[in-house]
Amino acid sequence: MKALIKGVMILTAAVFFVGCATTNDQDDAKLVIRSLIDGSDDLMIRGDQVWFVHSSYELPGRWQGGNEPTYLNDEEWLPVWQGSNSDKYVIQDKDAALPANTAFTEETLSVTAKGGHGKVVVSEYPSADNDYTLKMQIDDRGPDGANWYRIRINW
């Protein structure tokens, strides 16, 4: 009986994990980003460029020796790391790129997040002062290891 209960729990966890990691996104958001995070990372977006600045614990997607991609809408990106900075990924779907040289505020740019045990906070909205860069902190420094985050961005 214990083995059956344990098997059901493992199967439920696997279904949840695969569901969070799936790349089939039926969503009305202009940009949906999914990434496996363990620790704290800044996700930066300027126009059609996206990159990470890593702060603590494991690099995004690299939990327990793995190398999971980050998904931007349905585009896969395996970041290449140079120290704590990833390479800059160029979004192929130009409708999913932030409008260049456009300032945004909390009222004109919506960021919502699901998943994980931590939180996603907009640290800086795009403005002339930061070269029109959206900066979001993804904080998953809890004790339970890495978690998938799904971030929806609309403007």
Geometric angle at alpha carbon 51, from 46 and 57, rounded to 5°? 140
Beta strands in 10-116 (DSSP E): 31-46, 49-58, 70-72, 75-77, 81-82, 85-86, 89-90, 110-115
Total number of domains constituting the chain: 1
Amino acid at 108: T
Query: Using an 8 Å Cβ cutoff, are 113 and 97 in contact?
Result: no
pTM: 0.81
Q: Which domain holds residue 138?
A: 2-154
Amino acid at 26: Q
Percentage of the chain modeled with pLDDT above 90: 75
Report the chain's mean pLDDT, rounded to a whole number: 86
For 46-95, how does the pLDDT look when each residue is reduced to its tens digit (9 = 90+)?
Answer: 999 999 999 999 999 999 999 999 999 989 999 999 999 999 999 999 99
Amino acid at 119: K
